Amino acid sequence: MPARNKDRLYLTLNHRYHQPGMIYLHYLATCLHIQHILGYHWSILLAPIDRPEDSVYKDSICWDITNEGLGPSNWKFRQRGVNQFASVSLIARILLGKFEVVQHDQTVQTLHNILMAQEIRNNDASFTCRAWVLNSLLSLVNQQIIQLQGQDMDGLEKRVRDFGDDVMGKIQRHEIDIAAGGVSAIPVLDLRKK
């Protein structure tokens, strides 16, 4: 089966500018030319091949942890159907792997089992969605579900954050417009082992 027909596994970055109380931080970050002061929401997404037209269906599966409405040290795991192209906050996708469409259900179950088993440290004030995703990626690598360029999670984190910061800079300078550009405008960084 051609590679173009495979499901894609992404690490996704969503900006947080829309959250209450973030307007001042956005202004401060812009004045100081610092994008990562606000950070990003990190999640893992299994999605079909990008279509030329935006789909209205929730055809992707997102795994993440959230503390929304729960407090800063009260995280919960979630798996949900999403439409990545309907997101108002998705700014970047980092390609982690490709999987045969005919094995979709098995892939979803395997990913769900591994991701659901990841530790959530509710009593650790420094624990974040980013830490959860990085721990999840390490498990996926160790279980040979994905192979990434280098196995150093600190180096991978830096590449992902730098990529997100670069994309946010381009958005702020109006060099890219994800809302107007549709599917192809969501930047992708391929971190798969070649």
pLDDT tens track for 178-188: 877 776 788 99
Is residue 10 very low, low, confident or very high in pLDDT (cuts 50, 70, 90)?
A: very high
Rounded to an integer, what distance in angstroms lies between the CA atom of residue 128 and that of residue 185? 27
Q: What is the pLDDT, as a whole number, of residue 25?
A: 44
Find, among 191, 178, 193, the residue nearest to 86 by Cα: 178
Tokens of 109: 């179950």
- Rg of the chain's alpha carbons, rounded to an integer? 16
pLDDT band at 22 (very low <50, low <70, confident <90, very high): very low
Q: In this predicted model, what pLDDT tens digit does every residue of 83-121 receive, in sequence order?
A: 887 777 889 999 999 999 999 999 999 999 999 999 999
Q: What is the rounded (10 degree) CA torsion for 99, 100, 106, 109?
A: 30
pTM of the model: 0.85
Burial pattern 138-158, b for ≥16 Cβ within 10 A else e, equals eebbeeebbebeeeebeebbe
Percentage of the chain exceeding pLDDT 70: 80
Q: How far apart are CA 167 and CA 188, in angstroms?
A: 10
CB 134 within 8 A of CB 79: no
Taking CA atoms, 138 is separated from 2, 114, 118, 120, 134, in Å, by 28, 11, 10, 15, 6
